[in-house]
Structure formats: structure tokens, C-alpha cells
């Protein structure tokens, strides 16, 4: 009888992962932006903050991030 090898464990895990796996919530993105600022990645952090603000204009920003947005 011919036995078929089992797929690698990482393939099984990816297939079993929920559809939302890899989706970053707004709160997670803000945390990542804060982390980028803390690491000195000013340009990337500012660009991601602008993109975030355009995508989620109603999302409340912490005062320290709000201060980093360009003034209208």
C-alpha cells in the first residue's frame, strides 16, 4: 500500500488559520507606529501615521501622535 506523506506542519497551520490571520487592527497599527517613532524611524512612522489617519479619520489618536500630524 502506498502511503502519502503528510504535509509540512506550517502548511497545515496556514490552512487552518482563520481568514483574519495577518490582518492588523487599527490599535495594532498605532502601536507599530509608536514603536517606529521610538526606534527613530521618523520618516516611515510619519508616513504610516498619515496613511492611518486617512484610512481611519474617526479613530482617536493619542495626543503624542496627534501632535505629529501636519497642521491643516
Is it the case that residue 8 has pLDDT exceeding 90? no
pTM, entire model: 0.68
Q: What is the pLDDT of residues 16-65, one digit of tens each?
A: 556 666 889 999 999 999 999 999 999 999 999 999 999 999 999 999 99
Instruction: Look at the block and give the residue holding cell 521610538.
Output: 38
Give the span between the Cα atoms of 4 and 65, in whole angstroms: 54
The whole-number pLDDT of residue 22 equals: 83
The whole-number pLDDT of residue 71 equals: 85
CB under 8 Å to 26, separation ≥6 — which residues? 52, 56, 59
Give the span between the Cα atoms of 42 and 48, in whole angstroms: 10
The whole-number pLDDT of residue 30 equals: 97
Is it the case that residue 12 has pLDDT exceeding 60? no
> What distance separates the 2 farthest-apart alpha carbons in the chain?
72
CB under 8 Å to 25, separation ≥6 — which residues? none
Amino acid at each position: 500500500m502506498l502511503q502519502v506523506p503528510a504535509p509540512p506542519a506550517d502548511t497545515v497551520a496556514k490552512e487552518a488559520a482563520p481568514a483574519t490571520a495577518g490582518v492588523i487592527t487599527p490599535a495594532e497599527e498605532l502601536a507599530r507606529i509608536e514603536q517606529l517613532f521610538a526606534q527613530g524611524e521618523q520618516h516611515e512612522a510619519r508616513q504610516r501615521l498619515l496613511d492611518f489617519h486617512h484610512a481611519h479619520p474617526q479613530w482617536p489618536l493619542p495626543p503624542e501622535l496627534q501632535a505629529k500630524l501636519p497642521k491643516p
